[in-house]
Structure 1
Amino acid sequence: MSSSATPWYIKGILYVALPAACIAALYLSIPGEVALARTAGWSEHYAPAMPICLSVYALSAGAIATYRRKMSLPGQVTALVGSLMALLLAMAAQSISHLIAQDYMGTSAALVVAVSCVPPLTIAHLVHMAETPTAVKTASQEIAELRDMNQALMTALVAAESRSLTSHASHVLVEVERLSETVEGLSEEAQEITEEIETSLKEETAPRPRRKALALTREKVEEVRRSLTAKGEKPTVEKVCGALGISQATYYRHLSAA
């Protein structure tokens, strides 16, 4: 079964061999870079700083360029260019110092100017590379900001939804109140109609006034007939009912009962 664990010898190379090689390379670069600094005019007191300026600068620029490329951070191109320039300067310093030491070439004004420009250029580029990452957010910071943005967005959505629900609830309450008023009005109208119907039914089912029933006797009818005859009119049922103020059906019903 295959395993993804790093073999022990690879770990040894990463944690032992590589640092040892870097230290050895820096150590070997010291004499040539110190000699080049002396050739350019630096004294014995300042010349030993040249290896740090060139070799450590090349190492730092390469590490920063690799880290930015791996993390997809801005400033990858400038860091890569700087690391290549630092490597070229370190290589050139070694080569030139050895050529001078072996009498293959001598110093010149151009060489002095070029070597004298190394420290300020190194400082400028290192400051540039050191300044850019400060503006870059770490993954934890971005996650925290995204979490805060998510919470703020959820809060805003909940607030907006709450306002919408509150508005809908207010409209529903207003509609319910209006419907309640309408129902109450209809109930009152229905009650009035019911009362009117009950009153009408009571009037229709109530017995006829006894006044007319009692007054409608044979004597009353005869009196009306005599009155009509005295006036020279024929005492028909129609005229008798008209004089009494009753219908013919009432006349026949009460007359037969009497």
Structure 2
Amino acid sequence: MPSSALPWYLKGILYVALPAACLAALYLSIPGEVALAKTAGWSEHYAPAMPVCLSVYALSAGAIATYRRKMRLPGQMTALLGSLMALILAMSAQSISHLIEQSYMTTSALLVVAVSCVPPLTIAHLVHMAETPSQVKTADEEKAELRGMIDYLSEELTTSLASQSLTLVSRASAVVRELESLTKVTEEASEKVEKESESVEDILTGEEKAQHDEESKTRRKHLALARSIQETRESLEARGTTVTVADVCKALGISQATYYRYKPSEKVTASTLPLPA
């Protein structure tokens, strides 16, 4: 990346050559402007002030015009016209004084009046340029304007924050209401589930009870049938006859499969064995 620093020779021109050229130009303009002042009627004591008047006027007008242009202040054209007029006066003074000195022209009443008007016109224009323009704000005015801007921004920020806070509060209230609604629905669902659970539990309890009753009834039935088989077999044996399974089944009206399924648990005697086919 190229450096933005000025080369040494440009710095030399800015800080040495330009001031030297300005001083040389001012020095060269002194004799002509002094001679013109003497021609207009000023004495040897006052005539040397003419170069100072014109040179300072030209420098002041140029500097003020440049400053106002950079700062975008009013009065730029006035200062620029003043600096141009000062340069024109300086050039005219040199030219006229040299023309008179070389006998190309002579003095006149108009020339005397024009040269005599240079100092008061210079003072008037310098005073006019030195005035602070009405558009330029003082430090107090800038502070007041800045304070007003800060107050305005603070008010706007407060209003915006209040609006956002109200919006957030409204949304939070809506969320709370929705949460309460969901909580209510959840409680109702829990109660319903609890009731359903109790109902299912009651149903299961009833089924278990019925199953238990059925098992008890079947067990009692089995015991009663086994007791009937035992009593029938003992009754037939008491008659003194040979008792077979077929006899017991015939007496009770059951099948042999039922007999073997529900017979007593004690050991069956040989006399009660089924007869061969």
Cα contact 1:29–1:51 (8 A) shared by 2: yes
Cα separation, 2, equivalents of 1:158 and 1:84: 52
Alpha-carbon distance, 1:59 to partner:
1.7
Could you state the TM-score of these two structures normalised by the residue count of structure 1? 0.57
Q: Does the 8 Å contact 1:62/1:79 carry over to 2?
A: yes
In the alignment of these two chains, the number of paired residues is 168
Is 1:126 aligned to residue 126 of structure 2?
yes
What corresponds to 1:148 in structure 2?
147
Structure 1 residues 65-108: Cα deviation after superposition (integer angstroms, max 9, x where no partner): 12211221110111111111110000000000111111111110
2:112 corresponds to: 112
State the partner residue of 2:3: 3
Task: Check the 8 A contact 2:33/2:51 in 1, yes or no.
Answer: yes
Q: Deviations over 1:105-140 (max 9, x none)?
A: 1110000000000001000110111113586248x8
Q: Which residue of 2 aligns with 1:88?
A: 88
- Tell me, in whole angstroms, the C-alpha distance in 2 between the residues paired with 1:142 and 1:14: 38
Describe how 1:1-258 pairs up with structure 2 within 5 A: 1-132=1-132, 136-137=136-137, 144=143, 147-157=146-156
Bigger Rg, which one = 2
Task: Provide Cα deviations, 1:157-203, integer angstroms capped at 9, x if missing partner.
Answer: 466679989xx8xxx9xxxxxxxxxxxxxxxxxxxxxxxxxxxxxxx
Structure 1 unmatched ranges of 5 or more: 173-258
Q: Which runs of 4+ in 1 moved over 4 A?
A: 140-146, 158-165
Counterpart AA for 1:30: I
Give % identity. Answer: 74
Over the aligned positions, Cα root-mean-square deviation in angstroms equals 3.0
- Counterparts of 1:13 and 1:142 in 2: how far apart (Å)? 41
The answer on whether the counterparts of 1:75 and 1:132 sit within 8 Å (CA) in structure 2 is no
**Is the partner of 1:106 in helix, strand or coil?**
coil
